Structure 1
């Protein structure tokens, strides 16, 4: 059985501001909980490999699933302390790639050539591209076999401009996720701020915000079960 690749950020702070960021814990933990419960194996990777910082704000919203995995030593080692380098991985090993969020991804996902190539190859081989929240920025520069943006004319969601404003970070990020997705030609859809919302278009599954990773995982599993 092919594995599922979870991508996480290495960025610990906002570029020009002394404000911590990193992975939003629930966006890995809730998705991971669904995937491992369905019997799939996981690899964790990041643009630089190694340590993944956690956004301290994410602990304010942690529930029993977050604490279940954060207190698991093996999970902390594989998902947070010692993630794999993308360059070490073979896209043929994976049936899906999942981009987690947290504001750090705005700096290390979009222009990473190795990450771009990995996702494009997984998709070309019939796999799924999946994201949640700011993780959607990992899809921005992906292209198809005709060198057209992969998300052009695809139904996509991700962290909204309203959510960025409510979060107080509009002036601290290098760009707005919703705006950039639309500029790439995506058919962007959204729900109310911080309400669970997930859309699927073919083999692309995207969730809007930190409230959505569990549903993203459920929908991916449903799609994978259809292939069995």
Structure 2
């Protein structure tokens, strides 16, 4: 059976309460996706509502785009399948996937924590021994996942995610509904962080998390190692 990954992306196109566009941070999807493709792992995209996935305009800035981003962004099939017609949760069979990956971008702050349908898919994958992975703001999707006893999956788990310091550097602390770092700690996770905007990946069994956009590639590498039991770069 082919190994398969499910990437979760936001449907939120705008900050609530202010006129600022948001969406998925492109490199957090593409850098992880590229690692999957390089290792023969098929990828599907899902969002809480399905359909159109907005891109955070900041992630398309000249200094944010690299060869990997341009390769995906220039691919018609990718734009159509992943960004224009992402799957709805009710179109997804969790048994088809060995891992789920929550990509970030500020938009997720409004739809990931409330999406019980996405969380149920993650719970099913985890229960079967699959991986639950997330990066940057995407870690807030973990807040909705329960374990077999009905407790939050991340209680006592070692993880990371976008830091309060990084949000302050963005000057968006007051624009988001809550802070990812605080929410993970409040939910009972063992949260650790590295310097702002440096790569940081934390592995705790089936749970793999990355701190920021710089960590998306590393989360992919750690996921492949966990799935295949082989060393990859």
Alignment of 1:70-89 (within 5 A): 70-89=73-92
- RMSD across aligned positions (CA): 0.9
Instruction: Say which SS state the counterpart of residue 203 (structure 2) adopts.
Output: strand
Residue 189 (structure 1) aligned to one of 174, 192, 197:
192
- Once residues 224 and 127 of structure 1 are traced to their aligned partners in structure 2, the CA distance between those partners, rounded to angstroms, is 8
1:48 aligns to 2:46 (yes or no): no
User: How far apart are 1:214 and its partner, in Å?
Assistant: 0.5
Q: Could you give the per-residue CA deviations for residues 98-147 of structure 1, whole angstroms, max 9, x where no partner exists?
A: 00000000111011110111110110011100000000000012111111
Structure 1 gap segments, 5+ residues each = none
- Once residues 213 and 79 of structure 1 are traced to their aligned partners in structure 2, the CA distance between those partners, rounded to angstroms, is 17
In structure 1, the partner of 2:13 is 12
Residue 172 (structure 2) aligned to one of 163, 169, 192:
169
Residue 62 (structure 1) aligned to one of 62, 65, 75:
65
1:128 aligns to 2:136 (yes or no): no
- Once residues 148 and 220 of structure 1 are traced to their aligned partners in structure 2, the CA distance between those partners, rounded to angstroms, is 24
User: How far apart are 1:226 and its partner, in Å?
Assistant: 1.9
- Once residues 46 and 150 of structure 2 are traced to their aligned partners in structure 1, the CA distance between those partners, rounded to angstroms, is 26
Q: Could you give the per-residue CA deviations for residues 9-29 of structure 1, whole angstroms, max 9, x where no partner exists?
A: 000000111100000000001
- Once residues 153 and 55 of structure 2 are traced to their aligned partners in structure 1, the CA distance between those partners, rounded to angstroms, is 29
- Once residues 47 and 148 of structure 1 are traced to their aligned partners in structure 2, the CA distance between those partners, rounded to angstroms, is 22
Instruction: Say which SS state the counterpart of residue 97 (structure 1) adopts.
Output: strand
In structure 2, the partner of 1:140 is 143
1:26 aligns to 2:43 (yes or no): no
User: How far apart are 1:2 and its partner, in Å?
Assistant: 3.5
- Once residues 172 and 159 of structure 1 are traced to their aligned partners in structure 2, the CA distance between those partners, rounded to angstroms, is 15
Q: How many residues align?
A: 227
- Check whether the contact 2:115–2:144 (CA below 8 A) recurs between aligned residues: no
Bigger Cα displacement from structure 2, 139-148 vs 164-173: 139-148
- Once residues 44 and 141 of structure 1 are traced to their aligned partners in structure 2, the CA distance between those partners, rounded to angstroms, is 19
- Check whether the contact 2:32–2:217 (CA below 8 A) recurs between aligned residues: yes
In structure 2, the partner of 1:153 is 156
- Once residues 187 and 131 of structure 1 are traced to their aligned partners in structure 2, the CA distance between those partners, rounded to angstroms, is 15
